[in-house]
Structure 1
Amino acid sequence: MSLRVSDHAFANTYFKRFKENMSRHKDLDWIAIEKRLAEDPEKLFSLFEMDRTGGEPDVIGYDDTSDAYLFVDCSAESPVGRRSLCYDQVALENRKKNPPSGSAGSLAAEMGIELLDEEQYRNLQKLGVFDVKSSSWIRTPESMRKLGGALFGDCRYDRVFFYHNGADSYYASRGFRGLLFHRV
């Protein structure tokens, strides 16, 4: 899929979201971000998919080390179009009874994004109130995955919580939040 910033109304959606949520990115300049987006149609595709599945992506920072803008799903609840998924492909293949339609890891890879890790999820929660009625799969350490488990997080009682589940579990209220590093 070939996308260009000038071809799509969703560029206006990102600009509007950027302006309405300046507390997420106080020191960033939209013109520089838009220029960077225009240079990389692959990343535009990822942003489009994040939006299409209900993630409401927004730029939340800039990483000097990697020269990358950081886009994260900022929907109030875990993206609706990415729920009822087990953690990864291994979990999906091992699920014998009533398997879900897919996995968070596989869908994230198709979209060109990564699942948030614990630190990134905690930092997102500092920018707003997220996942008070839902939960989101979190990038899980390989040592835990080898034992069959996976992590998810949510926010209850004004506090961020992380829990564990079997990686093959899935729930209508659990999805995943994505991270897109936008480098050139």
Structure 2
Amino acid sequence: MANHSKELSPEQSQELIQTLKTRFEKNMNSHLGLEWASVQAKLEAHPDKLWSLHEMERTGGEPDVVEHDATIGEYVFYDCSAESPKGRRSVCYDREALESRKEHKPQTSAIEMAAAMGIELLTEEQYRKLQMLGNFDLKTSSWVVTPASIRKLGGALFCDRRYDTVFVYHNGAESYYAARGFRGLLRV
């Protein structure tokens, strides 16, 4: 069940930090030149961000550091699970799409769920950057930020990897599938 207070207990915080540290150390190729101690200090200074990372983890995202902006000291975590996070599938794109469905509505939308978690959907460019770190979404697909011009016409974009190639597709924003979720990012 979601923690609606947006605060973790000290035990939850320590457990999550240990999980993130283990993942960070296992995937050093994703963040060359970075040290975990600096990331951990930043996380401990921003417990609200720790809660969002917990939500990413809870829903199957396996967040890990993939970017660092040294000029502002910001670390960026992406969902790095092999497939689109299991706890974020079967959602349409946004509230407008959800409301347009006459029947068989999903529980929520990708945009709303991301906002509730305090994260952002990946853009196409960020999705492609993630794919440079490994092979993701070989069996699933993930909604990505859709340009307003496409969304205005009723569409939305999603990506996946097939045939060793990253593809960007379109679908009606109101569509949802058991194998389509969304990947997010969090700036700390």
TM-score grouping bracket, smaller chain normalisation? over 0.9
CA offsets, 1:30-60, max 9 Å, x none?
0000000000011001000000000000001
Corresponding letter in the other structure for 2:86: V
Letter in 2 for 1:113: I
TM-score normalized with structure 2 length: 0.93
Q: State the one-letter code of the partner of 2:126.
A: Q
Counterpart-to-counterpart distance in 1, 2:28 and 2:121: 24
The Cα shift of 1:2 comes to: 2.1
TM-score under structure 1 length normalisation:
0.95
Which amino acid is 2:7 matched to?
S
Relative to structure 1, is the Cα distance of residues 128 and 5 closer, same or farther in structure 2, using a 3 angstrom cutoff?
farther
Q: Residue 104 of structure 2 is aligned with which of 98, 106, 113?
A: 98
Equivalent residue for 2:8? 3
RMSD (Å), alpha carbons: 1.2
Query: Counterpart in 1 of 2:128?
Result: 122
Question: Who is 2:30 aligned against?
Answer: 24
Shift of 1:169: 0.1
Structure 2 residue matching 1:3: 3-state secondary structure: coil
- Which of 140, 143, 149 aligns to 2:155? It is 149
Secondary structure class of the residue paired with 1:59: strand
| 1:68 CA drift (Å) | 1.1
Residues 22, 142 of structure 1: CA spacing in aligned structure 2 closer, same or farther, 3 A cutoff? same
Check the 8 A contact 1:86/1:100 in 2, yes or no: yes
User: Is there any run of 5+ residues in structure 2 with no aligned partner, and where?
Assistant: 1-5
The residue number in structure 1 matching 2:3 is none
- Once residues 64 and 15 of structure 1 are traced to their aligned partners in structure 2, the CA distance between those partners, rounded to angstroms, is 20
- 1:10 Cα deviation after fit: 1.4
When residues 140 and 164 of structure 1 are mapped into structure 2, their CA distance, relative to the original with a 3 A threshold, is same
Specify which of 70, 78, 92 is matched with residue 86 of structure 1. Answer: 92
1:10-37 CA distances to partner (integer Å, 9 max, x unpaired)?
A: 1110000000000100111100000000
| Counterpart pick for 2:62 among 51, 56, 60 | 56
Structure 1 residues without counterparts, runs of 5 or longer:
none
Residues 167 and 66 of structure 1: is their aligned pair in 2 closer, same or farther, counting only changes over 3 Å? farther
Partner Cα distance (1:28, 1:160) in 2: 27
